Chains A and B, each alone.
Chain A
Amino acid sequence: MSYDDDRAARLPLAEGRAELLEEIMAQPQTESRRAHARWIAPLAAAAAVAAVVGGIALVSRGGSPTRGSDPAAGGGAVCWDGSTGATCPAPTGRAALPWVFPRLAGHLDRCVDALAAESDDPPMPFGTPAPGGPSGGVPTADRPAAYRCDLGMLGLDASAAAPRVWVYALGSDGGSATPGESHLSALVQRFGTGTFSIGGETAGPLVMDEVGLIHPSHLFIAKYADYPFAVMGYADDKAEAEQIIAALGARKPSEMTAPGVPDPSLPDFPSQALRSPEPTPS
C-alpha cells in the first residue's frame, strides 16, 4: 500500500481518533496481576505462529472412543503401543497422542515437531533457541520432542467460541523426560493457579492467563501432572477450558495405562498411531 505514516497522520480522523482514546480509557484496566504474563505473551505469539501451520478439521464422529474398558469384556483390548498386557506402558511421544486425545485419531499428520520446521518459532515454554546451533537454534541433542497439533477449526461444539486448540506431546518417544517437558512442567507448576479435571478426576495444573487480544479472554495451558501431554487454547474460564479438554476426549489419568478396546467408529485407533510415520523435520 502507499500509506506511509505521514500520510496516515494527515487522514481526517481527528474525531474518530479522539473518540477511540476515550472509549479505550473507559475500559477497565485489567492489568494482569500475575508475573507469568511476561512469558505468556510470547507464548501467545508462538501460538499465533502455530496457527499458520494450518487448521485441522476433525471429522465429527458419532461415537466416542472406548477406553479403559475391561479387557476381558472387550476381547482384544490393546494398548497405545499395540501391546496387549494387562497394564499398558505409560503413554509417551507422538505415537500416543490418539491414545491420550482420541479425537486426534486419523489426524496425526497435523502434529508437527514444534521445533523442527522453524527453529526460531518454538513454543516459548520450551526455551529460547540458542544462536549458532543446528537449524539456527537449539542444539539437536537438547531439543525436546514437542509435537504440536494445531486443532484450529476443530469444530468442537463445546468450544465453538474457542476455535484454536493446540495439543502437545512432550518428551522423547523413548519415554524419558526432556528439558522441554521439565521446563514446561516447572512453569505450569509455578504459575498454575489451579487444577483441571477430566471426568471429575483431577488431572494436573492449569494456567489461565488474560490475553486481551481475542475472545475468549484467557489463554490456558493444562498439563497432565504425571504424563507428558498438554493442551493449550483459549477459554473464558476454567469450566470452558475443561470443556475443550473433554471435547478432545482426553483420557483420565487413571485410564492412561488401562488397555482399551478399539472403537469401530475409529478404525485407525489405536493402530493408526503405530502406522503413522514420524514427521520429517523440514
Chain B
Amino acid sequence: MRVGRDIDQDVGRGIDEAVDAGPDARFRQLYADHFDAVLGFALRRTERPEDAADVVAETFLVAWRRLGHVPADGTRPWLYGVARRVLANHRRGDGRRAALGRRLRDQLAGLSPDVAESVARRTDVEVAMSRLSGRDEEVLQLHLWEGLEPREIADVLGISAAIVRPRLSRAKARLRDLLGNDPGTAGHDYSRNPRTIGEEGPS
C-alpha cells in the first residue's frame, strides 16, 4: 500500500527538483502531487461536494502562503493537518467561503446525484465508526481512509505518536466490538495492499 510517507518520498523527489526552480514550480508540483488526496480527504468529510471545494481551496492557499513551512518529507500529513483545521472552522461556521475555486465548486456541485448515491451506500463500517468518540473516529479515519501510520497521524493531529498508538488500538478494538468483524474499507485503494484491523504499521 502506498501510504502517505511512501507517497511523500516519491513526490518529494519531484519537489526537490522543483525547489531549485523556485517557489512557483515547487507549489505547482505540490499541487499536482497532492490535489487528489486533499480533495478526497475533504470529500470524505463533507456532506456537500461544494464544501469540499472550499476546503481544498483554503488548504492549498495556506500551503501557498506558507510554502516555506511545508515539509518536503511529510507534505501530505501537513496538508491533511491544514485541511483538518479548515474543516473545523467550516463546521463551526467560522470559515469563510473561499473566494477562490468557484469553478471547482460549481463542478463539484454538479456531482450531487453521484454523491447522494455514495451517501446511500454508507457502509456498516462507517456507521459503526460514527458511533465511536470523535477522537477515536478521527484517528481511525486517518488510519483507514487516508492510510496513515501512527507517526503520520500524529503529525496531522499535532500530538505525539506515543499517544496515537494506544488510541488507535483502542479505536480498533471498539470498532471490532461494534462490528463483530474486520472493518475493511478505506479512502485509498486497499485492494492493492489491504490492511486489516489489528495490523499496526511501523512507526
**Cα distance, A128 to B28, chains bound together (Å):** 34
**Cα distance, A124 to B157, chains bound together (Å):** 12
**Cα distance, A30 to B119, chains bound together (Å):** 38
- Is the beta-carbon distance between B85 and A48 smaller than 8 angstroms? yes
Size bracket of the A interface? 35 or more
- Is the beta-carbon distance between B103 and A214 smaller than 8 angstroms? no
**Cα distance, A18 to B103, chains bound together (Å):** 10
- Is the beta-carbon distance between A41 and B69 smaller than 8 angstroms? yes
Q: Contacts A15-B107, A51-B88 given: A24-B64 contact, CB under 8 Å?
A: yes
**Cα distance, A87 to B150, chains bound together (Å):** 54
Among A24, A210, A215, the most chain B Cβ lie within 10 Å of the Cβ of A24
In chain B, residues 84-138, which have Cβ atoms closer than 8 Å to a Cβ of chain A? 85-86, 88-89, 92, 94-96, 100-101, 103-108, 111, 115, 118-119, 121-123, 126, 134-135
- Is the beta-carbon distance between B94 and A163 smaller than 8 angstroms? yes
Q: Contacts A8-B40, A20-B57, A214-B96 given: A131-B162 contact, CB under 8 Å?
A: yes
Kindly state whether residue B174 has any CB partner on chain A within 8 Å: no
Among B43, B60, B158, B160, the most chain A Cβ lie within 10 Å of the Cβ of B158
- Is the beta-carbon distance between B118 and A120 smaller than 8 angstroms? no
- Is the beta-carbon distance between A214 and B66 smaller than 8 angstroms? no
Kindly state whether residue A85 has any CB partner on chain B within 8 Å: no
Among A15, A24, A27, which residue has its beta carbon within 8 angstroms of that of B103?
A15
Contact with B along A1-39 (1 / 0, CB 8 A): 111111111011101110111011101011110000110
Among A11, A163, A210, the most chain B Cβ lie within 10 Å of the Cβ of A11
Among A6, A7, A17, A31, the most chain B Cβ lie within 10 Å of the Cβ of A17
Kindly state whether residue A205 has any CB partner on chain B within 8 Å: no
Kindly state whether residue B79 has any CB partner on chain A within 8 Å: no
Among A16, A45, A136, A214, which residue has its beta carbon within 8 angstroms of that of B158?
A45
- Is the beta-carbon distance between A120 and B160 smaller than 8 angstroms? yes
- Is the beta-carbon distance between B40 and A21 smaller than 8 angstroms? no
B23: nearest residue on chain A (CB-CB)?
A29
- Is the beta-carbon distance between A5 and B100 smaller than 8 angstroms? no
30 examples of A-B residue contacts, CB within 8 angstroms = A1-B45, A1-B126, A3-B43, A3-B118, A5-B36, A5-B37, A5-B188, A5-B189, A6-B189, A8-B36, A9-B36, A11-B107, A11-B111, A13-B39, A15-B107, A16-B103, A16-B108, A19-B104, A23-B57, A23-B100, A25-B24, A25-B27, A27-B61, A29-B67, A37-B66, A45-B85, A129-B160, A129-B163, A164-B92, A212-B65
Q: A24-B64, A48-B88, A137-B163 are in contact. List 14 more A-B contacts (CB 8 A).
A: A1-B126, A3-B118, A6-B189, A8-B37, A19-B101, A19-B104, A20-B56, A20-B57, A23-B57, A45-B158, A120-B159, A214-B89, A214-B96, A215-B96
Residues of A within 8 A of B (CB): 1-9, 11-13, 15-17, 19-21, 23-25, 27, 29-32, 37-38, 41-42, 44-46, 48, 51-52, 118-121, 124, 128-129, 131-132, 136-137, 152, 163-164, 210, 212-215
